[in-house]
């Protein structure tokens, strides 16, 4: 079973994915692949320096993601350019990981699952949601000011639309324990029912 987990920024995708991992799922985070693989590629670093200048690369030659975010979240042209640069790398790594162990249960965090039309990669899609006010509070707790938080939220598909498109929704306005209870119930339901998703064939995962 391959479960695609999405939701708005600050809604708790990673927390939910860790709960699935506790239930025996293998966890894969596309944002982590961007940070640790795509943005560390010499070719990508060179392309970023060429487009945005040396300010997006620190003295050790690493991408300054805060500085980069200052460009791409202000200009949709730059954001789309960055996605076109990094997404092929991330998508290739994801397909390879899934193909290596097709028999495993996977929980894959995909922030732009619906924006990038990746539904056919997964047996089921899951949206982790919360109130907009809660999103802002959580992002501020991460050190993001309210204006920037609102800016980043605006660059994603509206949460209400993600909820409409997802096969399952987990509501994460309560405690961590409440979210875990929802995950546990969903896992029990998925594992007790026959896998059926004719619109999302497993063959699409072949690199």
Structure tokens at 109: 């965090």
CA distance linking residue 3 with residue 22, whole number of Å: 15
* pLDDT number for residue 200: 42
How does DSSP classify residue 171?
A: E
CB contact at 8 A, 183 and 19:
yes
Residue 207 lies inside a defined structural domain of this protein: no
Confirm whether 200 is domain-assigned. no
Query: Mean pLDDT score of the chain, rounded to an integer?
Result: 88
Q: Note the pLDDT of residue 199.
A: 43
SS3 of residue 174 by DSSP: coil
- Contact between 175 and 162 (Cβ < 8 Å): no
pLDDT of residue 202: 34
24 domain residue, yes or no = no
**pLDDT for the residue numbered 150:** 78
- Domain assignment present for residue 25? The answer is no
Rounded Cα distance between 203 and 123, Å, is 11
Q: Is residue 103 part of a domain?
A: yes
pLDDT tens, residue by residue, 157-177: 889 999 999 999 999 988 899
- The domain in which residue 88 lies consists of 2-19+34-193
Q: Which helix (H) or strand (E) holds 4?
A: strand 2-7
Is residue 51 situated within a structural domain?
A: yes
In which element (H, E) is residue 81 found? Answer: helix 76-100
Total of domains in the chain: 1
CATH number of the domain residue 165 falls in: 3.40.50.300
Low-confidence ranges of the chain (pLDDT < 70): 194-207
Residue 105 belongs to some domain of the structure? yes
Is residue 55 assigned to a domain?
Answer: yes
- Residue 40 · residue 46 · CB < 8 Å: no
Q: How far apart are CA 6 and CA 122, in angstroms?
A: 12
CB 180 within 8 A of CB 19: yes
């Amino acid at each position: 079973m391959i479960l695609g987990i999405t939701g708005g920024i600050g809604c708790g995708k990673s927390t939910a994915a860790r709960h699935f991992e506790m239930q025996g799922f293998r966890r894969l985070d596309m944002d982590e692949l961007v940070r640790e693989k795509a943005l560390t590629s010499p070719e990508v670093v060179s392309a970023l320096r060429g487009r945005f200048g040396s300010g997006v690369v620190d003295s050790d030659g690493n991408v300054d993601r805060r500085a980069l975010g200052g460009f791409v979240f202000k200009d949709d042209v730059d954001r789309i350019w960055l996605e076109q640069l990094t997404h092929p790398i991330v998508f290739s790594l994801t397909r390879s990981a899934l193909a290596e162990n097709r028999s495993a249960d996977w929980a894959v965090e995909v922030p732009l699952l619906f924006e990038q039309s990746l539904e056919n990669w997964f047996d089921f899609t899951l949206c982790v949601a919360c109130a907009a006010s809660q999103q802002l509070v959580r992002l501020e707790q991460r050190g993001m000011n309210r204006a920037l938080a609102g800016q980043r939220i605006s660059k994603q598909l509206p949460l209400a639309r993600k909820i409409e498109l997802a096969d399952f929704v987990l509501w994460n306005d309560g405690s961590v324990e409440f979210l875990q209870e929802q995950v546990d119930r969903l896992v029990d339901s998925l594992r007790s029912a026959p896998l059926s998703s004719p619109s999302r064939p497993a063959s699409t995962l072949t690199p």
